[in-house]
Amino acid sequence: MPTYHYILASEKFLTSDDENLHEVLKERERDYREKNKPIDFWFIRQPAFLEAPEFKEIKAKCPQPAAAVVSLNEQWITFLKLRLEYVIKGQFEAPSPTIPDPLASLAK
């Protein structure tokens, strides 16, 4: 099972023009394409992993609807936490018996 690292906040906060997260993600995607690196980060609206029992307290702390940036790269998530400041940072392994695949909703 891969370990996913994430930052979590309200969707309104993460998509606000003040935070400019969209530009950060776009620039990182461009950099990955130029280097032929596989994408290891995703922006997820209303992440399904928040419905797992383990995330009950975290979900309660986060204004809804929530959104997350999920990545396999812990250092990059730490960078985003420092840059955005008012986000929740964490990690989990998935899929597991209680935590769904965090990328499943992207396949739709």
Domain count for the chain, please give it: 1
**pTM over the 0.85 mark:** yes
Query: Is residue 47 in a domain?
Result: yes
From 2, 9, 1, 3, select the one nearest 80 (Cα to Cα): 9
Query: Is residue 108 in a domain?
Result: no
In 51-103, DSSP assigns E strands to 66-71, 88-93
Task: Summarize the confidence of residues 50-71 as an average pLDDT.
Answer: 94
Quote the pLDDT of residue 26: 95
Quote the pLDDT of residue 108: 46
- Of 100 and 91, the one with more pLDDT: 91
Contacts of 5 (CB under 8 A, 6+ apart): 70, 71, 72, 73, 74, 77, 89, 90, 91
Q: Tell me if 102 sits within 8 A of 71, measured CB to CB.
A: no
- Could you list the residue range(s) of the whole structural domain that residue 38 is in? 3-101
- For residue 80, give the CATH number of its domain: 3.30.70.1860
